[in-house]
Structure 1
Amino acid sequence: MLDPVPRAITSATIKIAVWIVPVIFLVKLIEKEEPFSYLGLRHNFRKGLKWAGWVILILLFYSVINITVLKNDLDFQLDFHEWLNVVLLVGITEEIVFRGYLLRKLMDSYKFWIANTITSLLFVSIHFPIWIYKGLIEFPTILGTTVSIFVLSMIFGFIYKKSNSLWSVIIIHSLYNLIVLLFN
C-alpha cells in the first residue's frame, strides 16, 4: 500500500484526469471555446469573491452555532489527503463539471431552474458510490443527506448564475467541505 502522501497525490492526479481533463477537451472540441473563459474561471472574479464572502459569513455563523449551542467539537487533525482531495480538489473538480460545464450547457436548452434541478440531481447521484463505499447508506439518514446535497447544489447553481463566476462556488464548496471535515 502507498504511503499517505503518494496516495493523496495519486488520488489527486486521477481526479484531475477523470473530471477536469475531459471537460477541457469537451469545451475545446465541441464548444470550440477557450476552457477557462467558457467555464467562468476568467471573469467576474471580484463578483465571485463577493458572493463567496457572504456565504462564508453564513458558514462561520453556522460554525459558531455548532460550537456554542450544539456543543460540537472541532477536529483539526486533517491529513494531507483530506486537505488536497476533499477540501481543495473536490470543490474545483465538481464545480468545473457540474456548474461550469453541465449547468451552463443545460441552460442552452432549458430555463435556469430546470437546468439547475437536473444538474443537482446528477450532483447528488455522484455521491452515492462514495456513500455506499463508506457504508453510509442507512435509512433514514441517507434521505436527509440526499436532500441536503440536493439543496446545496441548487444554491451553488443559483450563486453561479448570479455571480457569473465559477470561483464563487469553488470557494464555497471547498469551505463547506472543510467545515464538514472539521465537525466530523
Structure 2
Amino acid sequence: MKQNVRLIAASYYLVLYVLWAILECVIVPKLELQTNHVYIDIIKEIICKILFWFIPALLLILRYSDQMFFKKSELLGNSKKAVDYIPMCIFIILFTAWFLIPNYYQNGTIVINRSFNAEAALSAIFAGITEEMVFRGLLLNSALKDRRTWVVFSGNAVMFLLIHFPIWIREGIFVTYMTNIVFLQLIALSLIFSWTFVKSRNILTAIILHAYWDLLCCML
C-alpha cells in the first residue's frame, strides 16, 4: 500500500505535465492571436491551475493522506514551536534583499515594475497556492515516507523544474535559461520551499514563500 500513493501521485504528475504542455505550447499561442493577454493569464494562471492543479491535488491528499508523511489534519500546522517558523522569516528577508538591493543599486531608489497590477499579483498568489499544493502538499508529502529526505527533495526539485519547460519553450527562452543561472535558481527555490515545509510542518509556509517570491518577481 505504501507504493500505491507514490504511484498515483507520479501518475497524476505525468498527466498534469502533458495537459500543461499542451496548454502552454498549443492552446495559449492560438489564444494569443484572438484574446487579450490579461484574460489568457487569468484563464491559465488562476482558473486552469485551480481546476487541474489545486483541486485534483487536494482530492488526492484527502483520499490518501493516511499513507503520506503529513496527514491531512497536519498540513495546516502541526508544530506549536515558534522556532520552526524562523526559517520562513529568514528566507523572506533574504528574498527581499535579493530583489531590493540590485534594484536600488541600479536605479538609486526602489522602482516598481510599470507592468505590475492586480492581475499579476493574483497570478503570483495563486501560483504559490496551487503549485505548492501539488509539489509539496502532494508529491513531496507522498514520497517522503521511508525515504532519505534530501534525495526526495532533489527529485521534487527536478519535477518542479521540468514543469516550467513548456512555458520556456513557448516564450523562446528555454536555451537561455538552461545556459545561465535561472534553472539553478528554480532548483534552489524548490529545495527551500520543501525544507521550510518539512521544518514547519505547515504547507502555508511554502505557499507564503512561493507567493512572496513570485510577487517580488512581478513587482521589481
Q: Same fold (TM over 0.5)?
A: yes
Does residue 134 of the first structure (1) align with residue 208 of the second (2)?
Answer: no
Q: Residues 4, 130 of structure 1: CA spacing in aligned structure 2 closer, same or farther, 3 A cutoff?
A: closer
**Normalised by the size of structure 2, how large is the TM-score?**
0.70
- Give the length in aligned residue pairs: 180
C-alpha contact 2:140 2:152 (8 A) present in aligned 1: yes
Task: Provide the residue aligned with 2:125 in structure 1.
Answer: 88
1:75 to 97, 110, 113: 113
CA RMSD of the aligned region, Å? 2.8
Q: Which runs of 5+ in 2 are unaligned?
A: 1-33
Q: CA deviation at 1:110?
A: 1.4
- Separation of aligned partners in 2, 1:129 and 1:103: 22
CA distance in structure 1 between the partners assigned to 2:153 and 2:113 by the alignment: 33
| CA–CA distance in structure 1, aligned partners of residues 72 and 42 of structure 2 | 24
1:28-107 equivalences in 2 (<5 Å)? 28-31=62-65, 37=73, 40-44=75-79, 47=82, 50-71=86-107, 73-85=111-123, 87-107=124-144
Question: One-letter code of the match for 2:93?
Answer: L
Report the 3-state secondary structure (helix = DSSP H, G, I; strand = E; otherwise coil) of the residue aligned with 2:113: coil
Determine what percentage of the aligned residue pairs are the same residue. Answer: 24
* 4+ runs deviating over 6 angstroms: none
Contact 1:159 1:168 in 2 (8 A): yes
Change (3 A) 1:137 1:127: same
Q: TM-score, normalised by structure 1?
A: 0.82
Q: Does 1:163 find its partner at 2:200?
A: yes
3-state SS of the aligned residue for 1:131?
Answer: helix
- The 1:133–1:113 alpha-carbon spacing in structure 2 relative to 1, beyond 3 Å, is same
Larger radius of gyration: 2
Shift of 1:162: 0.9
